[in-house]
Amino acid sequence: MTVIDTRTQTAPQRTARTRHYLMCPPQHFEVTYAINPWMNTQVPVDVERAHVQWEVLRNTYLSLGHTVELIEPMAGQPDMVFAANGGLVVGKRAYGAKFRFPERTAEGVAYGEWLSEFGIDVFQPAQINEGEGDFLALKKMILAGTGFRTSLEAHIEAANALDRPVVSLELVDPRFYHLDTAIAILDDGHGDSPAEIAYFPGAFSRHSQRTLRDLFPNAILCTEADALVLGLNSVSDGRNVVVPSAAERFSEQLRERGYNPVPVDLSEFLKSGGSVKCCTMEMHR
């Protein structure tokens, strides 16, 4: 006799943990050059709307109980609003950024100086890397992207600078030029639950897809449609996931896993290939 189990599976209870973020106001944000497939200098940015969208994001973090620090934007640095690229902070140490394109070189210096003044010991990199754009910190490891912006040598340098194991992942689709466009950290593993991520498999080489399957067998697999609105460029506190509002199916997947999606519209920043996470550097404990 076959017995069918009709019990409804309950999503796990998620616990939020207060976070410490660094953001940069979009005072000088515009698309004046093209260094990724998203950027088109012929498509104007609605500057007023971009300011409103950024303020909504900042106030969303504050309403969730998080701390938000601000860095002064520099004239002539339109991408400085993407604070995640400015470095990787773990505890009282940081691995500084060294940008691939000369248009963004000054940002690495500015973020390094701000972090130093804040009391963070900043390691000055010799290798090309773009901060949290390609380095995502978990409790037990750092996931590191390479292929477009950050060199493989930088993975070794970051591991030494922060004394953390680094897992290298190869990006192969230029639309997902940074790791934070292809992976979202949902639970960093600091509580009782294991680390959990979401990712879009098509952004990665075959061997990196296997690495992700082995490390995170229960990961959420994001659809290409949601990945193409940068749905994975999200920020989670372990329960609340601030997610681009256009990624509707991804929000459903989050609810099914017990997370609380908090949608925000950052469509103006999508014109430069950025969204929620790009605008947010986390100063990890």
| Per-residue pLDDT tens digits for 172-212 | 999 999 999 999 999 999 977 899 999 999 999 999 999 99
pLDDT at position 1 is 39
Task: Calculate mean pLDDT across residues 50-56.
Answer: 98
The average confidence (pLDDT) of the chain is 96
Instruction: Choose among 183, 194, 198, 182: nearest CA to 255.
Output: 198
Task: Calculate mean pLDDT across residues 27-34.
Answer: 97
Is residue 165 predicted with pLDDT exceeding 80? yes
**Please, which pLDDT band fits residue 269 given cuts at 50, 70 and 90?**
very high
Is residue 8 predicted with pLDDT exceeding 60? no
207 carries an active-site annotation:
no
pLDDT at position 9 is 58
Is residue 6 predicted with pLDDT exceeding 90? no
Q: Which residue among the candidates 24, 222, 278, 279 is catalytic per the annotation?
A: 278
Is residue 96 predicted with pLDDT exceeding 50? yes
Q: Length of the chain in residues, anyone?
A: 285
pLDDT at position 285 is 83
Is the whole model's pTM more than 0.85, yes or no? yes
Task: Calculate mean pLDDT across residues 62-85.
Answer: 98
**Please, which pLDDT band fits residue 11 given cuts at 50, 70 and 90?**
confident
pLDDT: which is higher, 174 or 9: 174
Give me 220's structure tokens. Answer: 């959420």
Identify the structural domains of the chain with CATH numbers, from first to last: 20-284 (3.75.10.10)
Spatial distance between the Cα atoms of 19 and 237, rounded to a whole number of angstroms: 7
CB distance 120 to 69 below 8 Å: no
Q: Which of 93-97, 187-191, 194-198, 256-260 has the lowest mean pLDDT?
A: 187-191
Is residue 4 predicted with pLDDT exceeding 80? no
φ and ψ of 33, to 5 deg:
-150, 170
Q: Which residue among the candidates 66, 155, 178, 284 is catalytic per the annotation?
A: 178
Is residue 3 predicted with pLDDT exceeding 70? no
Spatial distance between the Cα atoms of 212 and 210, rounded to a whole number of angstroms: 5
Task: Calculate mean pLDDT across residues 45-62.
Answer: 98
Task: Calculate mean pLDDT across residues 153-164.
Answer: 98
Express each pLDDT in 213-247 by its tens digit.
Answer: 999 999 999 999 999 999 999 999 999 999 999 99
284 carries an active-site annotation:
no
Residues 190, 194, 197, 203, CA torsion sign: positive
Spatial distance between the Cα atoms of 262 and 278, rounded to a whole number of angstroms: 16
Instruction: Choose among 260, 270, 280: nearest CA to 230.
Output: 270
